Amino acid sequence: MTTHSPALPTTLDKPARITIRGTTKTGGRVTIPRSVRRAAGPVGLVLLWFLTSATGVLPESVLASPVDVLKQAVELTRNGELPSAIAASGRRAATGFLIGATIALSLSLLAGLFRLGEDVIDSSMGMFRAIPWVGLIPLFIVWFGIEETPKIALVALGVTYPLYFNIYGGIRSTDSQLVEAARMMGLGRLGLITYVILPSALPGALVGLRYALSTAWLALVFAEQINADAGLGYLMSNAQQYFRTDVIVLCLVVYALLGLACDFAVRILSRRLLTWRANFEGEA
């Protein structure tokens, strides 16, 4: 009697990318979509805000109701004030972000790739980071006046630190064994930087990008208090003089939505750029 053993594969299949995901165990239960779960928190807060305002627990003199905020949003959109304010703030945030990102990228590459750059740059950046950048507003006014320059400079400064430290940390966290293996394969310095070090630093750089974008809008809130004649900060300053909490809350909501949109864009970018990286996405 002859026995046949199972045929062994003669060629190795190409390894597939593995993503460690949380397992879903429904067990007959109805699974709520993640988008609904993520929206539950903000929607719940808005409902709580509406109920406390409608029942009088939260007086209008303290905080306007969401209905009043929505009415004000419609009114300011119709007369063009809100779109023009968003456009002015967006220009300042974009300009400051580009300047800060350029400075952060240049400094982090010099400090991360070269020991001399680390000795000269990193200790100075650590020292300057301890200085509250909001506290530099009076000095910026002395240096740059009260026009657009101090506003853009404050945003650029707020963006520089999170980007620098995350990119620098990503470069220095590159696996040394991976670097040695690349050298043994004949990669020179430029190839090592291009194909090993920078891809290894990319996850940290994207985390820094998320922090930097949120910091840009936070810095803009303070920057637009400096003699602004346009922008969301200008609307907030005028509303503060007349105790218009509906306009103040509206501007804060717009700031939050703009920051959320930037964060969402970085999340999509991360998924596209980090398809090669196995990641853990949490338990179900």
For the stretch 154-168, pLDDT in tens is 999 989 999 999 999
User: What is the gyration radius of the CA atoms in the chain, in angstroms?
Assistant: 26
How far apart (Å, rounded) are the C-alpha atoms in residues 242 and 263? 33
Q: Is pLDDT at 5 greater than 50 in this prediction?
A: no
Answer yes or no: pTM beyond 0.85: no
How far apart (Å, rounded) are the C-alpha atoms in residues 182 and 195? 9
Residue type, position 174, single letter: T
For the stretch 133-148, pLDDT in tens is 777 888 888 888 878 8
